[in-house]
Amino acid sequence: MPSEHKKYIICAVGRTGSTLYASLLREHRTAFINDRDCVSWSATNSVADWNKPIQHTHQIKIFNSAPADYVRIVPIRCILDSALSEIIATATDYWTMLNPAVQEKYKKCATKLFINVEMFIQQVGFHKVKYQQSLQSMDQWNGEKYFLTYNKHAVDYRAFYSYLNIKSDLINSQWIDTRLPKLINAKMSVDKFLLVENLKEILDAYKSIDVVYNFDDEITFNHIENILKEKK
């Protein structure tokens, strides 16, 4: 089956690049069959619309009930990254950077934040449980499935499409470079770790927890440690 006609369901822990991935799938489908309204966004408490070929959800019950013709996708990211990102997004009420005006507002309001360590540990625990559920579901699924790694697939769109076996002349053209960044390359304009007043305390707390899952943790650890060195 051509990739633009495939169905996909993404079940994600928050702040793992899942909105970006759903958008990339939408853009690919739209480029071939002009179907922009093809994503069902059933975040935390809404119902999935199974008439749409691309599903984005944080609900494991929806993931487990998806029809058999949906390709299963689970994004993975260092839990320290995603848990801290969720706390900061909640504190600032900025979740995405969809246009330059929003980015400027974010820069102005992005002051130092003192993160409650117990809250952080609790958030890490929430993410750990969600991964346990989604990984168990993937273990039991014998059909087509993929794990998307944030440090690879959220930063390199060609790697994203290639990994999902989405191959076409379009993907190899300038389409990625010229069209996609304008639509969905909406990265936060400030490194979230620079906003955290008690960054070392957060890093030490994370290392003291039995997180179990190591999703490129060393990359995040090294980045934080370099920030801490520069502060001295």
pLDDT tens digits along 63-73: 999 999 999 99
pLDDT tens digits along 17-34: 999 999 999 999 999 998
Once rounded to an integer, what is the mean pLDDT over residues 43-71? 95
In angstroms, how far apart are the furthest CA atoms of the chain? 56
pLDDT at 80: 98
pLDDT tens digits along 85-106: 999 888 877 776 555 666 666 6
What is the rounded CA–CA span in Å between residue 160 and residue 173?
15
* In the block, residue with structure tokens 């130092």: 112
Q: Residues for the chain: how many in total?
A: 232
| pTM of the shown model | 0.92
What is the rounded CA–CA span in Å between residue 84 and residue 38?
31
What is the rounded CA–CA span in Å between residue 185 and residue 97?
9
Listed in sequence order, the residues at least 6 apart from 43 whose beta carbon sits closer than 8 Å to its beta carbon are: 56, 57, 58, 59
Strands 54-57 and 7-11: parallel
pLDDT tens digits along 136-191: 999 999 999 999 999 999 988 899 999 999 988 888 888 888 878 766 555 666 78
pLDDT at 180: 81
A 10 A CB-CB count for 109 gives 11
pLDDT at 45: 79
- Name 40's bridge partners: 55
3-231 CATH fold = Rossmann fold (3.40.50)
pLDDT for 44 beyond 60: yes
Q: Please, what is the average pLDDT of the chain?
A: 90
pLDDT at 178: 80
